[in-house]
Amino acid sequence: MSRMPSQDGTARNGLHHVTAFSGAAARNRDFYTRILGLRLVKRTVNFDDPGTHHLYYGDAAGNPGTILTFFPVAHAAPGRVGIGETQETAFRVPRASIGWWTHRFVETGVTHDAPTPVFGEPVLRFRDPDGMMLALVGVAAAETQSDPAWTDGTVPAEHAIRGFHGVTLLLREAGPTAAILTDVFGFHEAGREDLATRYAGGAEAGGFVTLRAVGEFPRGRQGAGSVHHIAFRAADDAAQAAMVERLTGPHGLAVTEQRDRQYFRSVYFREPGGVLFEIATDGPGFAVDETAENLGRALKLPAFLEPHRARIEDRLPELA
Ligand code: ZN
């Protein structure tokens, strides 16, 4: 089930998903489901490299704005964040839950900092087992949002993660990237703090992108814990095509052909600041090849890989 575009004309622009590299698949799955309490909503393979898992975590349905995905590679070298990359990926939790989460991280041995205010909200920064930079942002509105929080009992529903808050991109300068956010994705400037400028798209989950302009700074090295790309939402193919037209026309950027990712349809482009961006359609969503109750339980393959299932299952590392 995917969220319908709003009927009242209110902007619902925001992130669709974030995709990163990780180390061993089982350790990644344990951290995101058992420590953070996200739902594994899809277990598939990298369509471009079927020897590697592609794991999707999100809310109960894997709604756009809640989906963090990984390509796990055992013994992958760690990445190092640099310019032209996503520096931090932040989730939203109820504001009153920040204390509960701090306690949980202490108890479970998760590397974290003391909560600090950022743009007026308490932020609890932490790292996953691969060193990926993450944060929980305490949002007052998260307590009263319409979608019920996913819980399997690991994290009580009242404290559960409610999708993304947003991402922070590390850039040399903010202007060229900001132009894409405002002109193509319908975001608007929502605040400045030190080197950071925040842009808001209006979506409840994943509605914020913060640009951190640091001037000359080393480039990163992609590896375990690095974000590979971030995807923005398009309500449907027509909305995606309109965005592509803005990108290739006024902004003069090169964009890939549309690719069928089974659960959404995607185009990719390198934004002027160096970050790989994707535009993904809200539909058809994750219940297209298994029931909503059984999401994430079985290895799912697209039709073109199904004939090779036995060999693929043989090569994939154990996840159970
Ligand atoms: Zn993607």
What's the CA-to-centroid distance between 234 and ligand 1, angstroms?
A: 13
* Residue the block writes with tokens 């006024």: 250
If you measure from the C-alpha of residue 20 to the centroid of ligand 1, how many angstroms do you get, rounded to a whole number?
9
Name all domains of the chain by residue range, CATH numbers in brackets: 15-315 (3.10.180.10)
Q: Give 53 Cα–ligand 1 centroid separation in angstroms.
A: 14
Q: Look at residue 5 in the predicted model and tell me its pLDDT.
A: 46
320/207 Cα distance (integer angstroms): 34
CA of 96 to the centre of ligand 1 (A): 32
The alpha carbon of 174 and the centre of ligand 1 are apart by a number of angstroms equal to 23
| DSSP letter assigned to residue 222 | -
Q: Around ion ligand 1, which residues have CB less than 5 A away?
A: 19, 231, 278
Quote the tokens at residue 307. Answer: 């004939």
Give the Å distance between the CA of 19 and the centre of ligand 1: 6
CA of 227 to the centre of ligand 1 (A): 10
User: How many other C-beta atoms lie within 10 A of the C-beta of residue 6?
Assistant: 12
User: pTM value?
Assistant: 0.96
Q: Are 122 and 98 spatial neighbours (Cβ–Cβ below 8 Å)?
A: yes
Q: What is the mean pLDDT of each run of 10 residues along the chain (320 residues)?
A: 46 93 97 97 96 96 97 95 97 97 98 97 98 97 76 92 97 98 97 97 96 94 97 97 98 97 98 98 97 96 97 90
